[in-house]
Structure 1
Amino acid sequence: MAELRQLALPSFARRMSVREEVADALRGAIVSGEMKPGELYSAPGLAERFGISATPVREAMLDLVKQGLVEVVRNKGFKVTDMSETDLDQITQIRELLEPPIAAQAVASITEQELTHLRNLAAAIVDAAADGDLISYIGADREFHVRLLSASGNQRLVRIVEELRAQTRLYGLSSLASSGRLVASAREHLQMCEFIEAGEAQKLQDLMRTHIGHIRREWAGRED
């Protein structure tokens, strides 16, 4: 059984929507590589770490099963679904085709209020990177990109991208955070906001493509 004390998981004992909160935290731990393929995790063990009952944790894990992030190990618990290098390359290729042009399209529709929200999220991403808080980083990063793409009005595409992002593995995040290099990548979100404010759709599209490329290279622990 994996050692739960090694996972940077928060306590949700006093939060509402516990099932969703737990699912988000576990998704972040999986994407960041803190929860690793091949290791076994039990709902009671995770529940003890969260400081809640096992039921919402089990329900959250089953939600992640439906998303293909974890698998049920009969009478034992759950394990993180392994993703091959080919799988991750294909996910990145699809994201590069979908996200940059849609983000550029969304520029004309983003309101001042929504831009303020994006700026706040971008700042939260930078702060989480500086603190080495990978789960908060993943959560804020996910919300930033979902909100940006949602401004295009194409919710079907947003759901597809959400699924692809959830399946991505960023095994190099821990080393980037400890070296301080993650902050530089995090600041790209602030630059995206600047391009949105200036109406620079093409520059946003180019930066978004570079940003996704980071995910498959240094963020995923690859040198090429």
Structure 2
Amino acid sequence: MKQSAQGSSGAGTPERRAEGGVRVPAQARVADAPDGFRERDTAVPAARGEHTHSERPIPQPSAVQRSSVRGQILDALRTALATGELKPGGVYSAPVLGERFGVSATPVREAMQQLALEGAVEVVPNRGFRVVERGARELAELAEVRALIEVPVMLRLARTVPGERWAELRPLAEETARAAASGCPATYAEYDRSFHGALLALSGNEQLVAIASDLHRRSQWPPVRQGRAYLVADAAEHMALLDALIAGDVDIVRGLVTGHFAGAS
């Protein structure tokens, strides 16, 4: 229920990470890097004028499968955002990231352009992409907009959708709880958004689902809360909400959804 601390997909199965578990490590100034992570003489050269110094070299990962390369890179970058490996305010160049993934800069740049449309990064001319920094006010504004959209819809659905339809979503809620127990904020972020999308999908309004999912994703970057205890408590609210929806208890539904967004702001 609460906004997790990492395009809109709506209801459905959460996206997979890039094959081979490819991850994008955080980058930092060389002066701040621990021993073993200092920039070497063999650092990747700059390409197309993009800024590459101060980015940590790491061992070359296995090459990403060429099928759906852009999609795999996009998944890996989203995971890195959700876990905080791509740090707010950090600037990352497509050629360097491409070298790390074992692909050309093109699919990385395309994936970053998608993330820019989603509000996760912004283009920095001749340097690459900067991860957005969101303050408390912007996160509160996102929570307010989500509440204006989702709360009335959920209350309407609570009155009109039969309990057996809600019960069909229990397996997804249980998967969300397992994702929370794993303690991985990136995994939980995907299941959390999928659960919200599945609830709203019962409205039959695809545009609503798409807009709500986009707002939800924006509110997850940068990650604010990543502790396992928080994720488990958040998933428990999903189960409580689903139980109330199945029982047709509109008052409990109202308290859960309004309390969630009030707490998120």
Q: 1:21 to 1:106 in 2, by over 3 A?
A: farther
Partner residue in 2 for 1:150: 201
Partner residue in 1 for 2:52: none
Is 1:92 aligned to 2:143, yes or no?
A: yes
CA deviation vs aligned residue, 1:121-164 (integer Å, no higher than 9, x gap): 22222222221111110001111111111211233332322222
Partner residue in 1 for 2:173: 122
Partner residue in 2 for 1:5: 25
Q: 1:131 to 1:105 in 2, by over 3 A?
A: same
Partner residue in 1 for 2:251: 202
Partner residue in 1 for 2:126: 75
Question: Going by fraction, where is helix more abundant, 1 or 2?
Answer: 1
Could you list the runs of 5+ residues in structure 2 that have no partner in the other structure?
Answer: 1-22, 28-61
Q: CA deviation at 1:207?
A: 0.8
CA deviation vs aligned residue, 1:9-53 (integer Å, no higher than 9, x gap): xx9945965534543553454356443221122334444555655
Aligned-pair Cα RMSD in Å = 3.2
The higher radius of gyration belongs to 2
* SS, match of residue 71 in structure 1: strand
* SS, match of residue 123 in structure 2: strand
Residues 121 and 130, structure 2, Cα contact 8 Å, conserved in 1:
yes
Task: Describe how 1:39-54 pairs up with structure 2 within 5 A.
Answer: 39-47=90-98, 54=105
Partner residue in 1 for 2:235: 186
Q: In structure 2, how many angstroms separate the alpha carbons of the residues matched to 1:31 and 1:215?
A: 17
Structure 1 letter corresponding to 2:115:
L
Q: 1:63 to 1:207 in 2, by over 3 A?
A: same
Partner residue in 1 for 2:47: none
Identical amino acids, percent of aligned pairs: 39
Is 1:171 aligned to 2:223, yes or no?
A: yes
Residues 166 and 246, structure 2, Cα contact 8 Å, conserved in 1:
no
Question: Structure 1 residue runs of 4+, over 6 Å off?
Answer: none
Residues 40 and 78, structure 1, Cα contact 8 Å, conserved in 2:
yes
TM-score (norm: length of structure 2): 0.65
Q: Whose relative contact order is higher, 1 or 2, with alpha carbons under 8 Å and at least 6 apart?
A: 2
Q: What is the aligned length?
A: 208
Could you list the runs of 5+ residues in structure 1 that have no partner in the other structure?
Answer: 217-224
Q: CA deviation at 1:60?
A: 1.6
Q: In structure 1, how many angstroms separate the alpha carbons of the residues matched to 2:101 and 2:173?
A: 27
Q: In structure 2, how many angstroms separate the alpha carbons of the residues matched to 1:56 and 1:110?
A: 45
Q: 1:105 to 1:89 in 2, by over 3 A?
A: same
